[in-house]
Amino acid sequence: MAAGSLKVDWAAGLHRAVTMLHFGKWEEKEEAAKVIAKLAEEDVKRRRVMAELGVIPPLVAMVGSEVAARRRLAVKALIEVANGSSTNKASMVEAGLLSRLPKNTTAIEDDDESSNQELAHLLLSISSLSKTQFFLQPPGIIPTAVSILQSNPNLDTTQACLATLHNLSSLLDNAATLSSTKLIDILITMSCSIAKGASEKALSTLANLVITAPGRAAIERHHAVPEGLIEIMTRGERPRCQELSAYVLMMLAHQSSLQRRKMADAGIVRVLLEVGLLGSPLAQKRAMKILQWFKDDRQKPQVTRRMSSFGSPDVGENCKILMKKIVKQSLNKNMETITRRASGAEDSSSRIKALVISSSSKSLPY
């Protein structure tokens, strides 16, 4: 078949699919979604044409359907149409996609692992807009991502949701929304996961959040902090997880004596010494930084004890009296020294004169 014929075929197929998507019955809309997904998968240029033909709004409307099979077809089509096109992703958000996402994926009767996996990949695709100038509101994505993570998904789905949250956390303005108790609990639980990819993504998100006030406060309140993060640092076979965990602990310990005490009680010093010797170069650097703060803390109480004796009014008054006494003693001692030296000088002068008179010039030393 000639190339021109193929072009006519896909163009004609797309034209029919667009017509059915806009004006057909539900069965026809579902068939159109299948055709659009297949055609969009084959060529990036077609995705731009599809967006220009207006396929995005009706597909977005289908995502809000209560029929799981229909919603799944729409999600598949949108994943393909969004692939490699920030413009198409933005058009989906503007068409109201975030408001139509299911907030509780486990409550939908016909939902299964595959549909949640596809939905997770659509979320990941849309969340990449956080890295562009397009303003993306995270509240529309987070409930769906959290619901999928709570449904015990497979590793691929878990990593897609965690990558979505990491994309959103790259913007500091999203920190307050991402710092809910439920979400922090999920991230810390996933950080301790035996799955390397999931652990790294969760720790990377925590590392983004801990540098913000709401994120740091939420992490500090969690019952597994700092013990869970310290345990992760012992995993020498996962240097990236070790580095990220050390970073989160470093941010928590910075300018917080309370957090450092909690870490010390949890046995962090031994772990830090081990990481400082055997960890990756970056993990070693972070471990040594935290150890330096613990060293400084041990030196502070000695200074504090010396200074604390000057705290009360009575002690302060006694201190003034003592200082005056010391100054007076010092002055008296200095005067005695000066007087003694002056007397010594006079005696020495008299002895020299007598010696000169009673001795001949030959007996004088040269």
Annotate 167-187 with b (16+ C-beta within 10 A) or e (fewer): bbbeeeebbebbbeeebbebb
**Does residue 301 lie in a domain region?**
no
Is the CA virtual torsion 293, 298, 301, 302 positive or negative? negative
Residues in the chain: 366
Measured CA to CA, the distance from residue 233 to residue 218 in angstroms comes to: 21
**Does residue 57 lie in a domain region?**
yes
Q: Of 277, 314, 273, which is closest to residue 291 (Cα–Cα)?
A: 273
Integer CA distances (angstroms), 79 to 10, 40, 56, 117, 130, in order: 19, 9, 11, 12, 17
Measured CA to CA, the distance from residue 188 to residue 192 in angstroms comes to: 7
**Does residue 173 lie in a domain region?**
no
- CATH at 75: 1.25.10.10
pLDDT value, residue 108: 47
pLDDT value, residue 13: 87
Side chain identity, residue 241: C
Output the six-digit token pair for 294: 């613990």
Q: How far is CA 279 from the centre of its chain?
A: 20
Annotate 70-85 with b (16+ C-beta within 10 A) or e (fewer): bbbbbbbbbbbbbeeb
Secondary structure percentages of the chain, helix, strand, coil, to 5: 80, 0, 20
**Does residue 42 lie in a domain region?**
yes
Total number of domains constituting the chain: 1
**Does residue 59 lie in a domain region?**
yes
pLDDT value, residue 356: 38
**Does residue 171 lie in a domain region?**
no
pLDDT value, residue 52: 94
Segments of 160-241 assigned E as strands = none
Question: In the chain, which stretches have pLDDT less than 70?
Answer: 1-8, 106-112, 301-366
**Does residue 174 lie in a domain region?**
no
**Does residue 89 lie in a domain region?**
yes
Measured CA to CA, the distance from residue 76 to residue 246 in angstroms comes to: 39
Which residues span the domain enclosing 52? 10-102
- Element holding 78 (H helix, E strand): helix 68-82
pLDDT value, residue 1: 44
What's the whole-model pTM score? 0.78
